[in-house]
Amino acid sequence: MYRLIVSLFFIAFISGCGPKKLTQEDIIKEKKAVESVAISYNKLVAAKNTEAILNLFSNSSELIFIGTDSAEVFKNKDQVKSHLEVDWQLLDVSKVGDLRNVSILISTDGELASMLYEIPWDMNFAGQQMHVIVRFAMTMTKESNEWHIIQGLGQIATVGQSSEDLLAQMKKVKK
């Protein structure tokens, strides 16, 4: 009997020490928090607020952010900061639209999040006025109970260069 009670106590203790699983309410709350980081990021880019943008990024050595150009690979906050300082000389975002095509996944323990979204920007880039769709993929991690970007991929969507569009163009040329 004693062994049974000790075994049950041990099992209860071990199962109580396992990783916490989020409830559905927790997941909804965390998704809103992750989305608010993305919204803040885009608004801070429009405001050219370098320090506030950097505060959204993780302090981890695993940080990486990849931009549209093949040379845009940033592996720490200093590299991100240097790039932003160049961008501010070329880029003025006059209007940031609402996030769309949003997909957010939260790990069961609530410590890691993955987010995909696109957002319209009206901007002046190097003297040229443009309306673009910017697409982002971000991985966020919890640090001091707040979400921070640890991985990111940003790109400006093209128009007329999908596989279907390119195939149609090829068929026209071959005729």
Q: How remote is the C-alpha of 144 from its chain's centroid?
A: 18
Per-residue pLDDT of the chain (175 residues; tens, 9 = 90+): 656 455 555 555 555 555 679 999 999 999 999 999 999 999 999 999 999 999 999 999 999 999 989 999 999 999 999 999 999 999 999 999 999 999 999 999 999 999 999 999 999 999 999 999 999 999 999 999 999 999 999 999 988 777 887 778 888 888 7
- Position 19 scores a pLDDT of 63
- Position 5 scores a pLDDT of 57
Return the C-alpha torsion angle 79, 80, 81, 83, nearest 10: 90
128-143 and 91-96: which strand pairing?
unpaired
Q: Tokens 């199962």 belong to which residue?
A: 15
CATH topology of domain 21-162: Nuclear Transport Factor 2; Chain: A, (3.10.450)
Domain ranges of the chain: 21-162
The 3-class secondary structure across 49-98, one letter per residue, is CHHHHHHCECCCCCCEEECCCCCCEECCHHHHHHHHHHHHHHEEEEEECC
- Position 55 scores a pLDDT of 98
Residues 131 and 92: their CA atoms lie apart, in Å, by 12
